[in-house]
A and B are shown apart, each in its own frame.
Chain A
Amino acid sequence: MTSATFPSSEPKPSWTRYFSFNTDAKVIGIQYIVLSFFYFLIGGLLAMIIRGELITPAADLVDRTVYNGIYTMHGTIMLFLFIFPVLNGLNNLLIPTMIGAPDMAFPRLNAVAFWLVPIFGTLLIASFFVPGGPAYSGWWSYPPVSLQNPLGNLLSGQGLWITAVALSGVSSIMGAVNFVTTIIRMRAPGMTWFRMPVFCWTALAAQSLQLIGLPALTGGAVMLLFDLIAGTSFYRPEGGGDPVLYQHFFWFYSHPAVYVIILPVFGVFSELFPVYARKPLFGYVYVALASFIIVGLGLIVWVHHMFPSGVAQWMRNLFMVTTMLIAVPTGVKVFAWLGTLWRGKLRLTTPMLFCLGGLFNFVFAGITGIMLATVPVDIHVSNTYFVVGHFHYVIYGAAVMGVFAAIYHWFPKFTGRMPYEGLGKVHFLLTFVGANLNFLPMHPAGLMGMPRRVSSYDPEFAFWNVLASLGAFLLGVSIIPFLLNMVSSWVRGPKATHNPWNAIGLEWLLPSPPAEDNFGEHVPTVIARPYGYGLGQPLVENQAAIERELTLQEATP
């Protein structure tokens, strides 16, 4: 950011770079996010069909086989093609800029990891068109149902599903190696561990979980694929195999996967609340360390998904206690956010509204989570709509709302344009009301004993299902103002300054949008902790000069 660089004289990069094998993390980040929303629309469309079927008790909208395929693909697409890629997009945009690195540690590997997403995405979508239809055994793919392969073809929807999930694992491992190496090795001078923004802490924690957990799922999936296509019997009871073994492999990864999703969202909350409350993050060190306590505990809770599968009583009690302990580090974070908001000077911008709404939903999900952890209650409500309601509160109510908050907050930084506030607030209102109307009625239905994954149900559940379906349709509509906002503000939105929210952080000391190599040769030296709101001290050396330079550049037409 010295006078040696003249960003304004550089040729404007072509939009076609977003469709090429580009190694710039900021391009890859936007590629991830845009592609993930394409899959989000497909997954959302499937959700509309699901709720359309469930608005009446009978299986009357689609055939039961079609319903089963659709709910399976809805879960798979939303997890592996929406939420993981969109979070990797945020990681790509934020990690290098927040720590002052020019790019990721392995830019080419980064690009390969991204381009695997459309490849396995296409494989998964293609499974709709193979004979027999897509996989239909749920996103858990429990054997023996997942091994039944009704047509007996080598090429089956289930086979494509396993292949796609394995490729997704390869992509995620490549990403995780990259993110962890980047955070460990490429921080700006002076950025010690306890001067690192919380988003990077949570990303580091989440990606460590990927590295530990994902290989177990991949191993389990490889054995499932051999059972399906090579005639082995790892999970086939008739050949001496054990179907419950698969459940251990699956949940050893897939429970931590929830923390892979929610931890970066905790990071987003921790970044945004200080900005819009104009106060330092309350108890920064505790918030940062709590992420790693969640990682440690998160690895020893997986059996709580298997309480009714037939595990020993001592195991049930043990895993109940470890699961409930997760409430402690999570509680530390929630209270820290409240402490940050307390006596702040709140600005209810769109990103702040999404954070507050997300926190509201997350607290609710946390309480139903404690209920689910206790074995006797879990025995009654496991595999019912109570669980479906619980995890949609976590994933949609908290995580997706946190992702929206992040997108609105960092949109100006990486596009150079301001998003529209009015459309943003409409989007928030529709999302918040829609999500609660959709997912709250699932809890009473589940408590009454309505199993999940059903294509038809007894009439006594109809009332709650009608409400849920109306909420779902509202949620479907809520995406329209978002897409309108993104497209119109990216094309013709007001130009963004380098720091429109008056936020503290290395990324806000870059021009909007930043140059390809971020700070290039002139990485500033960090001299303070993040979130110094109200403290009046600079974050980096020569901060005043850097900011003057940026303002000057913005003033020149």
Chain B
Amino acid sequence: MTSSTPRLRPLPLLGLALWVGLLVLVSVWMSRQAYHWLPVQASTAAPLVDGLFSFETGVGTFVFLGVISVMIWVVLMHRAEKYDASDAEPIEGNTKLEVIWTAIPLVLVMGIAVYAIQVNTRLGVLGPMEHIHPGNAVEEVGGYPGDRLPPETVEVIARQWSWEFRYPAAGVSSTELHLAIDQPVTFRLVSDDVIHGFYIPAFRLKQDVVPGTAIDFNLTPTREGRYRLRDSQFSGTWFAANQADVVVEAGDAHAAWLKQAAAQPLQSGISDAVQEYAVRDRKSNPGWATVPPAPPPQVNVPGSNTLPHDA
């Protein structure tokens, strides 16, 4: 902006340089802060996404503060005097400036785009690229085609409103997702009814679960702990309550859990919606109409979704 001022004396120029330097420092500090606004990093994807977000926060802070500095400067310094009804000096434009400020955002966003495409490509190599199998998913899953799936595959079945996780190789089903640390895992995402969203904030990954298709989705957890899996695509009345816990544990602990789980008899899994629906039925004025929740899935291990979680 200042370049529109025809003559630059050394003192204002020094002031401007100091101010820009200060903005750069603030932007760098903000880009560091950005990591703290995000949940813990619990997958191989998380550091990549967070790095990009931090970079964008830095650039964005600089641009925002730059524009706002100009606005504050003009509001403070270029106000009309009281009773001054005259016009300002009529500057109608400046082609050189137009070219510069077309080029600056162009270079900036293309830089960010190149960085983002690189992250995208690395994420693709690491796993979270989805493969879609069109067709009647319900049929495919109903037959438990365990022999067709690689051993580390977990089937995820989304319903109104519960999550069911099946480990075909171990013959285990659960309403709490257990994963082994540093072990790549393939999910096969299917939905029984409407579109749901498979979203684990600590992993920074999200994939819609679309009825009528089975979607393969890979990731690698990197941090032990208990995390939230949330439904991220509005799925009806108990959408908000459609959450499950994800437990990332050491390899041997995971194997032990699978073995122990396989020995458990089938029982009703977690479905907050079913519980709330039963209570709601007894109310005199229950609200507007709703689709009844699907019955709780019959699983070996219900697990919990009330324990404290890391993210």
Contacts and interface: CB of A to CB of B under 8 A. Distances in A.
Complex contact flag A–B (Cβ < 8 Å): yes
Interface of A: 59, 62-66, 68-69, 131-134, 136-138, 142, 144-145, 148, 150-151, 157, 237-238, 241-244, 277-280, 282-286, 308-310, 313, 316-317, 320-321, 324-325, 327-328, 331-332, 334-335, 338-339, 341-348, 356, 359-360, 363-364, 367-368, 370-371, 374-377, 379-380, 382-384, 444, 447-449, 451-458, 502, 532-535
Specify which of B1, B74, B215 lies most central, judged by the most chain A CB atoms within 10 Å of its CB: B74
A59 B208 contact: no
Given A308-B206, A375-B116, A383 B87 contact: no
Given A286-B98, A332-B101, A280 B92 contact: yes
Nearest to A331: B105
Given A64-B238, A313-B129, A342 B288 contact: no
A320 B116 contact: yes
Given A339-B97, A368-B60, 10 more contacts: A148-B291, A237-B212, A279-B91, A282-B93, A310-B210, A324-B110, A331-B101, A364-B64, A379-B204, A534-B90
Contacts of B212: 237-238, 241-243
B116 A374 contact: yes
Given A145-B235, A347-B80, A338 B88 contact: no
Interface in B101-121: 101-102, 104-106, 108-110, 112-113, 116-117, 119-120
B4 A342 contact: yes
Nearest to B92: A280
Interface size bracket, B side: 35 or more
Specify which of B68, B105, B205 lies most central, judged by the most chain A CB atoms within 10 Å of its CB: B105
A283 B98 contact: yes
Nearest to B276: A64
Specify which of B74, B94, B234, B237 lies most central, judged by the most chain A CB atoms within 10 Å of its CB: B234
Contact of A343 (B37, B68, B89, B97): B89
B288 A66 contact: yes
A324 B117 CA distance: 12
B32 to A, nearest CB: 15
A380 B206 contact: yes
A313 B194 CA distance: 24
Contacts of B91: 279-280, 282, 339, 342-343
A449 B235 CA distance: 17
Contact of A449 (B67, B97, B238, B311): B311
A383 B233 contact: yes
Contacts of A279: 87-91
B194 A448 contact: no
Contacts of B276: 64
14 contacts: A237-B213, A280-B90, A280-B93, A308-B208, A308-B232, A310-B207, A310-B208, A341-B71, A342-B74, A342-B91, A344-B88, A379-B204, A449-B202, A453-B234
The secondary-structure label for the interface of chain B is mixed
A310 B289 CA distance: 31
B92 A282 contact: yes
B250 to A, nearest CB: 25
Return the 5 tightest CB-CB contacts between A and B, nearest first. Answer: A449-B201, A133-B288, A237-B212, A63-B287, A534-B90
B53 interface: yes
Interface string B215-241: 100000000000010111111111111
A448 B39 contact: yes
B199 interface: yes
A2 B67 CA distance: 47
Contacts of A242: 212
A131 B234 CA distance: 22
B229 to A, nearest CB: 10
B211 interface: yes
Interface in B76-91: 78-81, 84-91
B63 A367 contact: yes
Contact of B109 (A65, A69, A370, A382): A370
Given A280-B90, A283-B98, A447 B37 contact: yes
A356 B78 CA distance: 14
Given A132-B289, A360-B71, A380-B49, A325 B232 contact: no
Specify which of A151, A335, A356 lies most central, judged by the most chain B CB atoms within 10 Å of its CB: A335
A65 to B, nearest CB: 4
Contact of B93 (A283, A359, A379, A455): A283
Nearest to B288: A133
B74 A346 contact: yes
Contacts of B75: 346, 348, 356
A338 B71 contact: yes
Given A310-B132, A377-B52, A317 B105 contact: no
B60 A370 contact: yes
B194 A144 contact: yes
B284 interface: no
Contacts of B104: 331
A379 B50 CA distance: 12
A70 to B, nearest CB: 10
Contacts of B98: 283, 286, 332
Interface in B3-40: 4-5, 37-39
Contacts of B231: 451
A370 B90 CA distance: 34
Given A65-B289, A313-B120, A448-B201, A457 B240 contact: yes
A238 B286 CA distance: 31
Contacts of A278: 80, 86-88
Contacts of A345: 78-81, 84, 86-88
Contacts of B259: none
A376 B123 CA distance: 8
B74 to A, nearest CB: 5
A142 B90 contact: no
B160 to A, nearest CB: 9
Contacts of A66: 287-288
A318 to B, nearest CB: 10
Nearest to A362: B67
B18 to A, nearest CB: 20
Contacts of B4: 339, 342-343
Contacts of B48: 376
A382 B206 contact: yes
Nearest to A382: B206
Contacts of B197: 308, 383, 451
B232 A384 contact: yes
Contacts of A134: 288
Interface string B109-151: 1101100110110011000111010000000000000000000
